[in-house]
Amino acid sequence: SAKAAFLKPGISAVRAGSQPQGAPAVPRQSRRRKSVAIAYEAGQGDGAEARWEPPRWREQLQRIRQMRSSRDAPVDEMGVHRCYDTGAPPEVMRYQVLLALMLSSQTKDQVTSAAMLRLRRRGLTVDSVLQMDEESLGQTIYPVGFWRNKVKYIKQTTAILKQKYGGDIPSTVEELVQLPGVGPKMAHLAMHIAWDSVAGIAVDTHVHRISNRLQWVQKETKSPEQTRVALEEWLPRDLWKEINWLLVGFGQQTCLPVNPRCSQCLNQDICPAAKRL
């Protein structure tokens, strides 16, 4: 499986790194104990024994899962994964996912969902968007944030998809971020949702803010992209897909940008930011 493929390099590296080359032999029992300690305490990836990870992050994560168990945040009910036509051909579904992601930037899920519904009623395909004039497209997606810029980006990107990808969307992050109006967060979410592939962590403003509040980054990060890099250095890869969904909903309901509801948060006693906010 894809998950197994991701995990195997980390596991083999840990086993290989448990006994430094040229070190004197140690008793079998001691060596086994050390191997277990590295495998579970040093994190994933290259087997480094001093790999940093946040204190109590597993406990914090489990409590966030508990708070998100009802799955009733806006992202759950109106997020991009709910915006495409599940009955459409695969390439059309993927195109609709990418379009929803482009519309969602700096826009509430409710507004994105409504705009996508209006587009789908007009028949949302690469060809239909290419045939639509900019004024009609703008009227259809309004009032998404920066809708005028998004009209231009959508038209440009759709033309590229038609010419270069046969109407489908690229299947790599590197190609996706080359499209007009598509940033790293959108690219990683497109990989998750459209291609069912985990190439990295999708970090938006919610994930960025909460990661810094929980001190899930070794030092404060200034942008979502910095946060993505910092999280990927220590967070086990099998959690990369889940973390966006968890933290976005948590940020919409509890860990708000302004006046976070710390009194309602199960992590209040172990969140570094709770007492300061």
* Positions marked active-site: 185
DSSP code per residue over 51-103: ----TTHHHHHHHHHHHTTT--SHHHHHSGGGSS-TTS-HHHHHHHHHHHHHH
Q: Are 238 and 211 in contact (CB under 8 A)?
A: no
DSSP assigned state of 198: -
Cβ atoms of 115 and 103 closer than 8 Å: yes
SS3 label, residue 199: coil
In three state form, how does the secondary structure of 212-277 look?
HHCCCCCCCCCCHHHHHHHHHCCCCHHHHHHHHHHHHHHHHHCCCCCCCCHHHCCCCCCCCCCCCC
C-beta of residue 120 within 8 angstroms of C-beta of residue 106? no
